[in-house]
A and B are shown apart, each in its own frame.
Chain A
């Protein structure tokens, strides 16, 4: 369904310097039982965030009030594993609008773009600069500009450009999803379907 438009996002970040963060960590399977898209943010990173009794684990970043913001920054191969869109719902629902990593799993990236979370792929070097800067000062901000396709670490001015195809870019800027586009092609698709 439609989501908020994305233009320029300026925010402090939440750092999660782990690699291969898979969708079972983002949201464990046992929390996929809802039949509506509500409340997934509560179980984001569930087993890293809470112990088996449900008490918050103080050493996990989401439980540390020092780190806040709309941008989640994590190590390479983020979002690997299952195709569950629930993982992105949890991220969105928790309040993130952008995930930064040096490498994203394919389906996860697609799912992000489909529901209005911007996946930004940066170099290892840039990623490390962000982790270092945030460790030194949790108040540092990143600025993500979708029109210019740039991401900037505001404390140092270090900046990189990122890829996004122009179709997805327009969608993100306008809060459109693919289904709006496809529904407009109904007749063309119906013609095509006859050949299959």
Chain B
């Protein structure tokens, strides 16, 4: 029998037909939409006189653009308000399930999908958002698409896609104390660069990955796109099933048994081939932080900003330009740099485990006076749990400000902007120039490292503070 990877199994099961010397007509099981990348798709549908083919396969939530204060009031920013209202009218018109502001399951689309049990093993999932890769943690093929493709999915439940190549990244061994899944993924990206995964779909494997919780796995898959890969997935196992059991849209009763039996088959066959493989040892991974303007520019928190030896031409120019933007010099230590903001949130690290770990570490301590600390839960559900578990109280006592759910300062489309020139250590996924506001300087790190920075006011290895 032909040996297949997990990715092959799911991909092949969703090909409606293959265009000769062209892409596959690829069937999509679940489609998420939000207010920013969907309005033009709906508008074009209307212009073509086409309707939504499977409204029951699409789920909507406003997240990118929404305020995180006073969500219950009318949105002040006129353009944001219009986008959210468009989403509402479109959902109503076509009968699409909407998790609106203030409702029990409102939140960042990649946080609520898993929370609701919409995301399941073996599915194909797309959204007009590159971090759709998050859902790969469940053993699904999930990736971001452009607005033209959003329109295709709405109209036909299919897109045209060429099958990517396959990359397996294996991380074996045990993580050290204070090292999290965010450090694993920042480490991998620093090794293979921000473009090293382009053209590939990743499978993450190995004992270090298996040992992670579902939320920690989501953090890893989320950042697959930051090395250029379309997405990344992890074979489902007991951890996956335990997470999904009892969720709103998870199969129930006999259907559950049937589903699990199918999910059990979703594994890469022994001997199946990948186009590329990387192996890492968990013991080599330490708390990581980025120092530049793409997620591949990461080092150990205890490390030094790389020198320019061996760099040439436009490569060197881009590197120096990036450091100039950040206000750093080659060869400097990163530890001890003064920081102005910390941001805990986003679809990378805005889930309850992330908030728990920050709360646990700052309990009884105070944030440093130079730090403004924002915590933005990934969803209403996360917010609710954080209150119920007493985490909000701990965090507020430490001087953190809790905001309402949304993408917030991850991309700063709303008012949550880091001021120009200021430094933010963030649990999000992108450190591009101006990502968190025009002129803002972002350093990406784990929630633990962010907690350490909040308390000391400067870049600090979390293992040394707690």
Contacts and interface: CB of A to CB of B under 8 A. Distances in A.
Given A106-B198, A107-B130, A182-B152, A196 B147 contact: no
A83 B77 CA distance: 24
Interface string A5-40: 000000000000111101011001110111111000
A114 B50 contact: no
Contacts of A36: 39-40, 43
A25 B144 contact: no
A19 B315 contact: yes
A33 B16 contact: no
Interface in A19-68: 19-20, 22, 24-25, 28-30, 32-37, 47, 52
Nearest to A20: B294
A113 to B, nearest CB: 9
B228 A105 contact: yes
Contacts of A24: 411, 430, 432-435
**Ranked 9 nearest A-B pairs via Cβ:** A167-B22, A85-B146, A33-B79, A83-B144, A111-B146, A35-B39, A114-B148, A19-B318, A83-B130
Contact of B194 (A32, A34, A77): A77
A102 to B, nearest CB: 10
A107 to B, nearest CB: 6
A177 B148 contact: yes
Contact of B17 (A20, A111, A188): A188
11 contacts: A35-B86, A81-B130, A82-B144, A106-B228, A114-B148, A177-B148, A179-B156, A182-B25, A182-B159, A192-B16, A192-B27
A156 interface: no
Contact of A182 (B36, B155, B230): B155
**Chain A: interface residue count, which band?**
35 or more
Contact of B438 (A47, A77, A85): A47
B433 A85 contact: no
B23 A35 contact: no
Contacts of A179: 48, 148, 151-152, 155-156
Interface in A115-138: 115, 128, 131
B37 A83 contact: yes
A20 B318 contact: yes
A173 interface: no
Interface string B6-26: 000000001011011111010
A1 B263 CA distance: 39
B162 interface: yes
A106 B224 CA distance: 12
Contacts of A193: 27, 54, 157
A88 interface: yes
A47 B433 contact: yes
B167 to A, nearest CB: 13
B63 interface: no
Interface in B216-264: 225, 228-230
Interface string B159-189: 1101010000000000000000000000000
Interface residues of B, number: 78
A35 B314 contact: no
Contacts of B225: 81, 107
Given A19-B314, A25-B433, A80-B228, A33 B65 contact: yes
B128 interface: yes
B120 interface: no
A18 B44 CA distance: 34
Contact of B27 (A28, A33, A183, A196): A196
B370 interface: no
Interface in B310-349: 313-315, 317-318, 321
Given A83-B129, A166-B21, A30 B314 contact: no
Nearest to A128: B313
A52 B228 contact: no
Contacts of B411: 24, 29
A114 B29 contact: no
B381 interface: no
B116 interface: no
A111 to B, nearest CB: 4
B199 interface: yes
B27 A75 contact: no
A75 B318 contact: yes
B207 interface: no
Contacts of A166: 20-22
A48 B93 CA distance: 40
Nearest to B15: A192
A60 to B, nearest CB: 13
Contacts of B435: 24, 29
A178 B19 CA distance: 12
A186 interface: yes
Given A17-B314, A19-B318, A80-B228, A185 B17 contact: yes
